[in-house]
Structure 1
């Protein structure tokens, strides 16, 4: 199996993007999105205070603008025509001064310029001007969301990478369940399971494996016992005890591609009340699966799940929509949400995770990664979902 996106596919993505900007009568473009730069060029980097940008000139040549410490890295791995760099940030001369030079030399002056953001942004101390402050363009036209929409439908290569992610997420979760015992802390359990799964993955896949993100990971995220009633709790270093609800998660990154596997489990025993809400959650996920069909709006899935919750008088115990797309980001658009009417198409990949949260008792949420097909959906995650498999002993 190829554990990366081939350069031919990267070139095809660039061509599709060029066609879109031509249709919009945009002559050149500037992109600052880390994810979209990776999607178009295959260059994976860690954004810091040092700005990085992608430039498409009027001749459709691709330029990558990076700090000097990334220059050789970019030349080695990025599918671009030119790499430009600057010494350092903030430097004696601001990086945007160098960026201005690149834009002027590339013929941006007086052109219709597309952009995803008018300037680089970072929470790590970066400060700098917007491009519109130093470039005299004929017009600036927003391209925000354009590449995100290109990412909606996954290619065959992308789907294979997501499936590979699912395989190792499955192992990580099996180990998590194996080590989930009363008297052990969540950090001890997740560290052991994640490390063991990661070692198995890198030994099996070999040197061709590049995570471009985290490796294999199994987590509780603090969703243990009563704390599991908070959908996005954070690690609390809780010690497991008999009867606890566990809302777990497991995944792996393969060349930047994600999957999502979550399960509701119980330590040694399950009460009648826990069983009641587990069954509601399980059936809500089944309802969602039955409504994932190409040609239908994503909102239709959420409508069906919400109707099920209303029918069973548990709407007040729900706190979020049924799912989201997944790929290069853990959460992507479109969403299984009442306000999202994107039409489902074959090749889209989603998580399906309706949740029920009962304060004082716990949370109940399975999450599976699924692929929209020509006739419905294909389950990509395959960890057991039934209650009999969910009790940790």
Structure 2
């Protein structure tokens, strides 16, 4: 069976949305973010510049306004993955003779909705939507606009059991993917070469298990990779490409977290191709200690800022504070980076059900970067790791 959030879970979310809309005085909720729409429907689209909209009446069935490139496709996916959308309306293309924002406003007004609680930015696509503000268009149709604010983001902060299960499943495949990639690494290989070969093998394995493997929000493809973090290039936390093949002695960053039912885990490890030098061992050990301080600080009732502060204190004690390039970690789930962010500037209190990464790193120009990342679930009693892979340097050597 293809993993996904159940229809029961989608119905629960829609009830919360309707209740909040009613409490605000609205007769319907309007969602225009593709991620938000997926959260409530299991439906995902290639939005490009073309806006999509989901209208959820408080006392009615959800309906969607979509570009006609989705005609038939939307109904098919709706029948397969959730079935919560009861009606689809289509516009030909963006912006059209009559701008699509007017069509969305007409769809709302013609449904006898006189007040709507909407997402802050109105309809938008991924590639540069521009047009008249939806709030103004609704006002001309005697429909009151109520800003939804961060309601959906707040709902997504605490994960349900189903969401945690999907994230944990992603973590299990991530561990397997790293194993496969390690088996392909050797001096002279390019990072993209290993990534493509390993991703193909893992995709085949996932396809055999799920029959078929279907990412609900993307396409089958990348499963494990290096993102250019090979040797001296791994000293750049967000390196994009390595301009040379792998060499003996390289510090190499690797990561994985395949999409499962729309959700992601994050597993990253620092590997050593061959035998590590004394300097590499020392830095690796300090990275583990900095990481341990952050992980030990996790728990319910703890502020995100306190976790990051604990990590920074340990880095300062070890004399490597100057090698930090980013905060401790971030939330994840439907997006690979989402709140809460484990940063000294975030006062958000961690609660059971929140899912975060712990991934402080040390970066040495010309040598490499040292970072492990694992995904953690905040629990009533502390935190539970959702990803699992060896951490010690001698278990992460790649020998040839």
TM-score normalised per structure 1: 0.94
Aligned to 1:330: 336
Superposed displacement of residue 241, structure 1: 0.5
**Maintained 8 Å contact 1:326/1:351:** yes
Aligned CA RMSD, in angstroms, stands at 1.9
- What's the counterpart of residue 348 of structure 2? 342
> Secondary structure of the residue that 2:307 maps to in structure 1?
helix
Q: Distance in 2 between matches of 1:123 and 1:295?
A: 36
With over 3 angstroms needed to count, the CA separation of the structure-2 counterparts of 1:118 and 1:381, relative to structure 1, is closer
Please report how far the alpha carbon of residue 312 of structure 1 lies from its aligned counterpart in structure 2 after TM superposition.
Answer: 1.6
Kept in 2: contact 1:214–1:253 (CA 8 A): no
Deviation at 1:82, TM superposition (A): 2.3
Quickly say closer, same or farther: Cα 1:118–1:354, change in 2 above 3 A. Answer: closer
Cross-structure match for 2:21: 21
After TM superposition, give the deviation of residue 89 of structure 1 in Å: 2.3
Q: Paired residue for 1:126?
A: 129
Task: Assess, with a 3 A threshold, how the Cα gap between structure 1 residues 118 and 380 changes in structure 2: closer, same or farther.
Answer: closer
SS at match of 1:334: strand
1:311 aligned partner: 317
| 1:239 equivalent in alignment to 2:242 | no
Q: Is residue 212–residue 254 contact of structure 1 (8 Å, CA) maintained in 2?
A: no
Q: Which moved more, 1:209-218 or 1:370-379?
A: 209-218
Distance in 1 of aligned mates of 2:36 and 2:284 = 39
Give how far 1:141 is off.
Answer: 3.0
Aligned to 2:372: 366
Tell me how far 1:204 sits from its aligned partner.
Answer: 1.6
Shift of 1:58: 5.2
TM-score, normalised relative to structure 2:
0.92
Tell me the distance in 1 between the aligned counterparts of 2:129 and 2:214. 33
1:223–1:149: structure 2 CA closer, same or farther, 3 Å change rule?
same
Match of 1:225 in 2: 231
Gaps of at least 5 residues in structure 1 are none
How far apart are 1:125 and its partner, in Å? 4.8
Are the structure 2 counterparts of residues 172 and 298 from structure 1 closer, same or farther at C-alpha, using a change threshold of 3 Å? same
Once the two structures are overlaid, the 10-residue window that deviates more, 328-337 or 65-74, is 65-74
Deviation for aligned residue 1:156: 1.1
Deviation string 1:196-227 (CA, Å, 9 cap, x unpaired) is: 11111111221375453354611110111111
Displacement after TM superposition at 1:91 (Å): 3.0
* C-alpha displacement of 1:131: 0.4
- After TM superposition, the structure 1 stretch with the greater mean CA deviation from structure 2, 316-325 or 201-210, is 201-210
Partner deviation per Cα, 1:228-249 (whole Å, 9 max, x = no partner): 1110110235300011110111
1:185 is the counterpart of 2:190: yes
Q: What is the CA deviation profile of residues 247-267 of structure 1, one whole-angstrom value per residue up to 9, with x for unaligned ones?
A: 111121111110111001111
Secondary structure of residue in 2 paired with 1:117: coil
Deviates more, 1:334-343 or 1:87-96: 87-96
SS of 1:100's partner is helix
